[in-house]
């Protein structure tokens, strides 16, 4: 279940929402458990359910509300390991993608699903998965590119 929670976090970028999404998906999975023999890969099936749940969650009206109050700054965690810094940087870049592109990239590269499996899970065509993957990777490359240095004369 920890991998489902991490997958949900990569899709929605909020640990609390990720926990809620996993709970929702597990509830739906429990109700459909009688169909478990027709499921080829449980992790892929749950990954698809999570991706659809994130997209559905972003459609909810309260997600479009903005807070007017100034919130206190959260405590900054200590970064002890380079891998943590790299992961946080990737999370920041993924946050700048739309939910569909983020879902495609997470399913393709984090969950290691094929183009066909991703298309089936998201309910889109194979061409859409390919184009969203290409556009998402292009955006990540632009975000990760080092800024050009200005020459001083």
Phi, psi of 69 (to 5 degrees): -80, 150
68-113 residue pLDDT tens? 566 566 666 555 556 555 666 777 888 888 888 999 998 998 888 9
Q: What percent of the chain has pLDDT over 70?
A: 76
d(CA 81, CA 77): 12
- What's the gap between Cα 77 and its chain centre? 22
117-136 residue pLDDT tens? 999 989 999 999 999 999 99
**Predicted TM-score (pTM) of this structure:** 0.52
- Answer whether residue 10 shows pLDDT above 90: no
From the number of C-beta atoms within 10 Å of its C-beta (0-12, 13-18, 19+), residue 106 rates as: buried
Q: What pLDDT does 12 receive?
A: 84
Residue range 2-64+82-144, CATH number? 1.10.10.10
CB 4 within 8 A of CB 24: no
Q: Delimit the domains of the chain by residue range.
A: 2-64+82-144
Question: How far apart, in Å, are the Cα atoms of 133 and each of 96, 98, 117, 127, 144?
Answer: 14, 12, 14, 10, 16
Structure confidence at residue 116 as a pLDDT band (50, 70, 90): very high
d(CA 83, CA 86): 5
Q: What pLDDT does 150 receive?
A: 47
36-45 residue pLDDT tens? 788 888 888 8
User: How does the average pLDDT of the chain come out, rounded?
Assistant: 80
Q: Which three-class secondary structure state does DSSP give residue 39?
A: coil
Q: Which residues contact 53 (CB under 8 A, 6 or more apart)?
A: 8, 21, 24, 25
Tracing tokens 């459909």 back to the chain, one arrives at 32
């Amino acid at each position: 279940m920890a991998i489902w929670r991490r997958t949900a976090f990569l899709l929605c970028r909020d640990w609390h929402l990720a926990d809620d999404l996993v709970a929702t998906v597990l509830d739906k999975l429990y109700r459909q458990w009688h169909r478990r023999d027709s499921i080829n890969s449980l992790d892929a099936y749950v990954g698809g359910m999570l991706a659809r749940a994130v997209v559905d969650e972003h459609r909810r009206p309260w997600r479009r509300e903005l807070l007017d109050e100034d919130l206190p700054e959260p405590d900054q965690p200590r970064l002890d390991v380079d891998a943590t810094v790299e992961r946080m940087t990737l999370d920041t870049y993924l946050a700048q993608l739309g939910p569909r592109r983020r879902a495609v990239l997470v399913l393709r590269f984090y969950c290691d699903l094929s183009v066909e499996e991703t298309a089936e899970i998201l309910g889109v065509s194979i061409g859409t998965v390919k184009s969203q993957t290409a556009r998402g990777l292009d955006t990540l490359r632009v975000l990760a590119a080092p800024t050009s240095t200005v020459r001083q004369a």
